[in-house]
A and B are shown apart, each in its own frame.
Chain A
Amino acid sequence: MNSLWWLALPIQLLPIWWHRKKRVQVKAEPLASARFLPRTEPRQMRVWRWADVVLMTVRCLLLACLIAWLADPVLPWRGNTVVVAQGSDAAWVEAQVAQAGFKDAARLPLAAGEALAWIRAHEREWKPDARLLVLGDIPMPASLPQFVHPLALRTLARPAMPAEVHVLINSARAGEWRRMFAALDGPLRVVVDDLPGAKTELIVWDQPEAPPSALRAPLWWVADTTAFPELAKAPAAAGMRYADSPRGRLWTSPAWPPANPDAARRLLETWRSLHYAPLAYTAPAHSFSASTVPASVHANGALRGFLMLALAALFALERILTHARRR
Chain B
Amino acid sequence: MASVSSALIAHTTNLDLVIRHVLAGLGQGIHAGRERGSGVEFSEYRAYAPGDEWRRVDWKLLARADRYYVREAERDSHVALWLVLDASASMGEPSRSIPGLDKLAYARTLLACVAAIAQRQGDAFGLVVLCGGRVQFTPAARGPRQLQRVLAKLNAAQAEGALPDAAALKSGLRFTAAPSLVFAASDFLDFPSPLSDALLRLRHMRHDVRLACLQTEAECTGGFAAGPAYRDPEHEGGVFRFGADLREGYLRNREAHFGAMTAACRAGDLPLVDARIEQAPGEVLRQWLRPSSYGAGRR
Q: Please report A residues at the B interface, Cβ cutoff 8 Å.
A: 26-43
Interface residues of B in 182-223 (CB under 8 A from A): 187, 189, 219
Report the separation of the CA atoms of residues A33 and B219 in the bound assembly, to the nearest whole angstrom.
7
Known A35-B189, A37-B240, A40-B239; contact A29-B229, beta-carbon cutoff 8 A? yes
B238 to A31, Cβ gap below 8 A?
Answer: no
Kindly state whether residue B170 has any CB partner on chain A within 8 Å: no
Segment among B55-63, B241-249, B287-295 that sits at the interface with chain A: B241-249
Kindly state whether residue B232 has any CB partner on chain A within 8 Å: yes
A28 to B228, Cβ gap below 8 A?
Answer: yes
Report the separation of the CA atoms of residues A37 and B239 in the bound assembly, to the nearest whole angstrom.
9
Report the separation of the CA atoms of residues A102 and B105 in the bound assembly, to the nearest whole angstrom.
85
B233 to A43, Cβ gap below 8 A?
Answer: no
Report the separation of the CA atoms of residues A34 and B224 in the bound assembly, to the nearest whole angstrom.
10
Partner of A31, one of B91, B230, B246, B253: B230
B241 to A37, Cβ gap below 8 A?
Answer: yes
Known A26-B229, A28-B230, A29-B229; contact A35-B235, beta-carbon cutoff 8 A? yes
Set of chain A residues within 8 Å of B250, measured between Cβ atoms: 33, 36-37
Set of chain A residues within 8 Å of B257, measured between Cβ atoms: 36
Partner of B231, one of A28, A36, A41: A28
B93 to A33, Cβ gap below 8 A?
Answer: yes
Question: Do most interface residues of chain A lie in helix, strand or loop, or is the interface mixed?
Answer: mixed
Interface size on B, residues (CB 8 A): 29
Report the separation of the CA atoms of residues A36 and B219 in the bound assembly, to the nearest whole angstrom.
10
A-B contact pairs, 12 of them (CB 8 A): A27-B228, A29-B228, A30-B230, A30-B231, A31-B93, A31-B231, A31-B232, A36-B253, A37-B242, A37-B250, A41-B239, A42-B239
Set of chain B residues within 8 Å of A40, measured between Cβ atoms: 229, 239-241
B230 to A34, Cβ gap below 8 A?
Answer: yes
Report the separation of the CA atoms of residues A179 and B128 in the bound assembly, to the nearest whole angstrom.
137
Interface residues of B in 231-280 (CB under 8 A from A): 231-235, 238-242, 246, 249-250, 253-254, 257
Who on chain B is nearest to A39 by CB? B238
Report the separation of the CA atoms of residues A40 and B249 in the bound assembly, to the nearest whole angstrom.
14
Partner of B239, one of A32, A35, A36, A39: A39
Instruction: Write the nearest CB–CB distance from B30 to chain A, whole angstroms.
Output: 30
B93 to A28, Cβ gap below 8 A?
Answer: no
Q: Please report B residues at the A interface, Cβ cutoff 8 Å.
A: 89-93, 103, 187, 189, 219, 224, 228-235, 238-242, 246, 249-250, 253-254, 257
Report the separation of the CA atoms of residues A255 and B261 in the bound assembly, to the nearest whole angstrom.
138
Known A28-B239, A39-B238, A40-B241; contact A34-B219, beta-carbon cutoff 8 A? no
Q: Lowest 6 A-B CB distances belong to which pairs?
A: A32-B93, A32-B90, A31-B230, A40-B241, A36-B253, A30-B233
Known A37-B241, A39-B239, A39-B240; contact A32-B189, beta-carbon cutoff 8 A? yes
Who on chain B is nearest to A33 by CB? B219
Q: By CB atoms of chain B within 10 A, which of A29, A30, A37 has the most? A: A37
Set of chain A residues within 8 Å of B242, measured between Cβ atoms: 31, 37
B228 to A34, Cβ gap below 8 A?
Answer: no
Who on chain A is nearest to B103 by CB? A32
Report the separation of the CA atoms of residues A43 and B92 in the bound assembly, to the nearest whole angstrom.
24
A29 to B231, Cβ gap below 8 A?
Answer: yes
Set of chain A residues within 8 Å of B219, measured between Cβ atoms: 32-33
Instruction: Write the nearest CB–CB distance from B68 to chain A, whole angstroms.
Output: 48
Contacts A34-B231, A35-B235, A42-B239 aside, 12 further interface pairs with beta carbons under 8 A come to A28-B228, A30-B231, A31-B93, A31-B224, A31-B240, A33-B189, A33-B250, A34-B230, A36-B250, A40-B240, A40-B241, A41-B239
Instruction: Write the nearest CB–CB distance from A30 to chain B, whole angstroms.
Output: 4
Known A33-B93, A40-B241; contact A27-B246, beta-carbon cutoff 8 A? no
Report the separation of the CA atoms of residues A200 and B232 in the bound assembly, to the nearest whole angstrom.
104
Who on chain B is nearest to A31 by CB? B230
Report the separation of the CA atoms of residues A28 and B239 in the bound assembly, to the nearest whole angstrom.
7
Instruction: Write the nearest CB–CB distance from A42 to chain B, whole angstroms.
Output: 5
Report the separation of the CA atoms of residues A327 and B234 in the bound assembly, to the nearest whole angstrom.
34
Instruction: Write the nearest CB–CB distance from B218 to chain A, whole angstroms.
Output: 9
Who on chain A is nearest to B233 by CB? A30
Partner of A38, one of B90, B103, B228, B249: B249
Who on chain A is nearest to B242 by CB? A37
Who on chain B is nearest to A41 by CB? B239
Q: By CB atoms of chain B within 10 A, which of A26, A30, A34 has the most? A: A34
Partner of B89, one of A30, A33, A36, A39: A30
Instruction: Write the nearest CB–CB distance from B188 to chain A, whole angstroms.
Output: 11
A37 to B229, Cβ gap below 8 A?
Answer: no
Set of chain B residues within 8 Å of A30, measured between Cβ atoms: 89, 92-93, 230-233
Report the separation of the CA atoms of residues A182 and B270 in the bound assembly, to the nearest whole angstrom.
142
Instruction: Write the nearest CB–CB distance from B195 to chain A, whole angstroms.
Output: 15
Q: By CB atoms of chain A within 10 A, which of B103, B228, B239 has the most? A: B239
Who on chain A is nearest to B247 by CB? A37
Report the separation of the CA atoms of residues A32 and B163 in the bound assembly, to the nearest whole angstrom.
13
Report the separation of the CA atoms of residues A117 and B238 in the bound assembly, to the nearest whole angstrom.
76
Who on chain B is nearest to A37 by CB? B240
Set of chain B residues within 8 Å of A38, measured between Cβ atoms: 240-241, 246, 249
Instruction: Write the nearest CB–CB distance from A228 to chain B, whole angstroms.
Output: 101
Set of chain A residues within 8 Å of B228, measured between Cβ atoms: 27-29
B89 to A34, Cβ gap below 8 A?
Answer: no
Report the separation of the CA atoms of residues A41 and B239 in the bound assembly, to the nearest whole angstrom.
6
